[in-house]
Structures are given as structure tokens and as C-alpha cells.
Amino acid sequence: MNIMGHLQQLGRSLMLPTIVLPGAAVFLSLSALPWASMGIPSMHNYLQTAGEAIFSFLPYLFAFGVAMGMTSNAGTAGLAALAGMFIYTGIINSSHYELEPTVFTGVIIGIVTSIFNERFKTIKFPEYIQFFGGPRFVPLAMSLFSAVWAIIMVQLAPSLHHALIGLGDIVSSGGGFGVFLFGFVLRILVVFGLHHLVSHVFWFQVGGFQLPDGVMVFGDLPRFFAGDPSAGAFMAGLYPTMMFALPAIAFAIIHEAREDLKPKIRKTFLTAALASFLTGVTEPIEFAFLFVAPYLFVIHALLSGLMMWITYELGIRSGFSYSAGAIDFLINEHLATRGWLLIPIGLVFGALYYGFFRWAIRRFRIPTPGREEGSQLDEWAGDIPYRAPLILQAIGGKDNIVQMEACITRLRLKVSSDKLIDINALKHLGAAGVIRLGGGNVQIVFGTYSELIREEMDKAIRRDISRVLFCSPVQGRMLPLSEVPDPIFAGKLVGDGVAFIPDKGELVSPVLGKVIHVYPSMHAIGIRTPEGLDVLLHIGIDTSQLKGTGFKSVVNEGDQVKPGQLLIKFDLPYIRKASKSLATPMVITNSDRVSSWSFAPFKGVKRGQASVMSVVLKERSGGGETV
């Protein structure tokens, strides 16, 4: 059993039910408007009831969400979890104790449902009762479990009730340091995508507050919206981090970028800064410096914890329905205590972050985006359908994927072999970072487009089409064929494809295939793929006149080659001086057989790097099968 893999899946599952919370916050905020003076006094009650209803049914949402998330959206599991919650609630309501199901209850039922689903979904019975076999047995097993567990909980209810309140008292006794520690650990766990595990405990389970009708609510977040004046200590301090500190880092990265790259970096990181400020989505900025300067991330985590400590000591209590961005800040300000102080605190720390990060980037020559080989953070929303097949290839192809899910900012994968993952290619395709958790569990941070990427990858996997994927034949820079300084190649008279400017004198095979032609001057080579595509690789422009000088072929006609295999060595300095251009086209000469093309961004590439081009073949006109 891989613990980290199960934890990352649980972390994603815990986040799913929180998606509905912004709706509750909006309803509760609107209910505070002066509806009576508008002539519709009943509107206040309607809106307040709508908001409170979501919080009332949170345990059911968590049971359903965890069960679905842990079983890759198995509908039977979701149904079984809800049935379990209904049975549990029915039994405890029939007891003489004033009990209410908690979020913790929902999480436990969701987890148990996922375990039962994995254990019993393939169970077989004799044919005359096989109706209850397979996935249909999961709701039956969960019904029995929920009934037994509810009976046990009724007996333990008084002790557990006091234990939850006592746990809240223990946590509160930690004071400002406890809040600081929570903030520090929360940021560190963002790296592994496990931050929802620790935040869930504090936001939905620790501490109790009794409503006027006697109902108890648990957790910092529900207590805040229920009107508990002491709630919000574990949320308020996140506002300065997300609204000011992270955007300040984005501005520091922009201003330290090279002048020639600054326009593109500015566009990308202004978008990332705005996302952090408005919605609290921080990973695109944090991953821009996490891998190139992890010590800076530790300092950032310490400062984030310090901000939470300061807000606690100043008596600031505020909360959010989803994340600590400006939208939540404005919606929930009327419920906060001294919430306005978050703005000056954020401005001070924003200035501190900006100055410190600019100094550190310059002083330690940190390769943030826009400087040297900085980490990638791309803006390519409209390009997702075209890049998804390339991302799939960089992950190792559909056969390497055991399980694929997505949360708000990252793909969460279980792969057969993480050694098949091409990290350079993924960063080339827009990934902010790749995290290996062991046991084949991998997270790829793509920002807020991660779910759309997953959907397009699912489509690419399901489509029964013939696709040929290309690696980079050289190390250097990829460019459109139209920029090749030769009218024959630029006009696509030889074929369609892409080109490269090499910075190392080695040409490798971009595909699996057979060498069908090695030019006598060895400046070009032809390869035929198993699908019947003829690929021409041409080193430089007007290099045939060199008559083989500076070139050495290491393969012969008829040889079978695989992606990344060395084909030709060439004297780069000599060819640079003796030829018109180093531009090296990679074209498909029988491109009439291609139905559609996908190209990676035209940036620097490594030799043999996966996912630089992908083509879909046309169907045969006769039999209707793909070539």
C-alpha cells in the first residue's frame, strides 16, 4: 500500500464538497441586505435558510464527495455513502441524545464506502442471488456498517461530544504559536498537494459552538458562518498571503525578467497575480520558484505563518467559504472581527515580499521565469485540445496511466512507471511543476486549467484514432516552418512540420521507424514510420553543397530506429559558418495522409524531448479504418 498515494487522493476528495460553500457565503451575505426597506422582508429568511441549508447538509456532501473522489467517480459508491448517512442520521436521531452528524462522520462514511467499493465491486454469489453481487453489494454492505456504527456512536456520544470540544480548547491553548505552526505546515504541504488534510481538521472539525436552538456546529469555518465570534483564527491570516504576498512575488519575478522576455512574463504573471488576489489560487506563483529555490519557499512558509500569528494577536477573526481571496473577503467582511486590518497588514507584507524576492532573485541568480532557463508558466487556455495529446505522450502514453484525476490546480496521476514521464516536455507544455510522491503517484501543476486538461486527455484516450507522436530531433529552439529562411521549406512544398535551430551537433530520431534514405552528403535523412508516414530531417539550409564535410552518419538505410536514437553527428561551428542557416526542418513529405496537427510551444527543447509535435492520420477512403 502506498500511503502517500492514498493521502493525495483523500486530499483531493476532501476538497470536492467545499466547491458548494461559496454559494452558502453568497446567500448569507445577501440575506444581510435591508430587504424589509425594499418591501420584501421575507427575502431575508429565504436567503438565510438557503445559506444555512448548505452547512446543515455538509456531512452528506462530504460523505458523497469523499466516496466519489476515492473511487474515481463510481456512482454506486456515491449512492452507498448517501444511504449510509441516511441510516446513520436516522438511528442517532431516534436516540435520547441531541446528536447531529458532523463532517467527520461524513468523511469516515465516505472513506469506508471507498474501501468497501474496492473490496466488493467484483464479488460473486451463486447465480440465484447474483443480483446482489458486484457493485450492487456495496450499498448493502454500507447500510449494515452504518447501522452498526450509529449504534456504537450513540453509546459513545457524550464522550465524543466533549472530546471534540476539548480538542478545540487544546488547540486554542496554543495561542498565536499554534496558529503560526498551522500556517507554516499548511504552506509546506501545498508542495505535496496534501494541505487539504490538515486544513480540513481545523476548518471542519476542531472546536464547537452551540446555536440558539441547541444544535452544535464544529470547525472553524462552520462556526464562523454560524456567528461564533471566536471563530476565524485559522483562516484570517491567509488573506494577506493570498491577496498581497503572492502577487508581490509575481511582480518581483516580472521586474527581474530579461527585457526581451519581460512582455510575455508580464502577461503571464499578472494573470497569476490576479488569480491569487481574487480567488486565492496560489500554486502557479509558488511553483515558479519552488523547484529553483526551495529555501525561498521555506522562508515564504515561515512568513505566511508569521502573518497568521500577527492577525491572531491583533484579535482579527475572519473566514472564507472557499479560499482567502478578495472575492471572499468582500462577501464575508460583514461577519469578520476587525477584518479591515487585514488590508494594511497585507500591504506591509506585500512590500516586504516584493523587496526581499527581488533582492534574492538578483543576489543568488535564481532562474525564475524570464531569467535563463527559468521554470515555465504558460498562458494557453485556447490551446488545450491541441496540447492534451502532447501532454499525454509526455506522461508516457495512455498505457502508463493507471488512474487520472484533477483538482483545481493539478493533475493527480497514478502511473505504471514514473520513469517514463518527461519532465522537460511537461514544463515545455506549460506545467509549473512535477511532484513525484512515490509508488507511481505523480502530481503535475498546470494551474486552474487542470480539469480541462484532464477532460481533453480523456477524450484523446477514448478516441479510436491513429496518432503519431514526435520527439525533438535536436537540442535547441523549436520554430514554425514558416520562419525557415528557405522558400521551399517555408512554403511547405516539401511537406508540413516544424523546424529547429540546434545548439548541439547531434541529430536523433524523432519517431519509431525505418531509415529509408541517407543522403550521400549526409546532411539529411528519411524515416518511414510503421503508420506509413515519411519523415524528412534536413540539417541546415543549403548544406548539400558541403558534400558531406562536417557530417557523419551513424545509421544506414534499412536500419530500424527508435525515438531518441542518434542518427547523424555534425560539426555545428563549421556548418554555422558554411551554410545559409542552421534551421533544421522536420517535415512529413506525404502530409496528405495527415488529418490534423498539434504543435508544442515554439521554445527551447532538449534532444529527444517528447511531445513536440503530434499528428492524426486520415481514415482510409475504402474500409473506413485509420491508417
Is 523 an active-site residue?
A: no
Residues 216, 217, 223, 225, Cα dihedral to 10°: -100
Contacts of residue 495, defined as CB under 8 A and 6 or more positions apart, other chains included, come to: 534, 536, 587, 588, 589, 590, 591
What's the farthest any 2 CA atoms get from each other in the chain? 96
Cell of 292: 529553483
Q: What is the CA radius of gyration of the chain?
A: 29
CB contact set of 528 (below 8 Å; sequence gap of 6+): 513, 514, 516, 534, 535
Instruction: For 244-275, give one letter per residue: b (16+ CB within 10 A) or e.
Output: bbbbbbbbbbbbbbeeeeeeebbebbebbbeb
Do the Cβ atoms of 496 and 614 come closer than 8 Å? no
Contacts of 443 (CB under 8 A, 6+ apart): 8, 192, 193, 410, 411, 412, 413, 434, 435, 437
Catalytic residue among 407, 428, 471, 523: 407
Residue 398 is placed in which grid cell? 495512455
**Calpha distance 492→531 (Å, rounded):** 21
Q: Are 367 and 374 in contact (CB under 8 A)?
A: yes
Burial class (CB in 10 A: 0-12, 13-18, 19+), 94: exposed
Active site residue 162: no
Give the Cα separation of 573 and 561 in Å (integer): 27
Catalytic sites, residue numbers? 407, 538
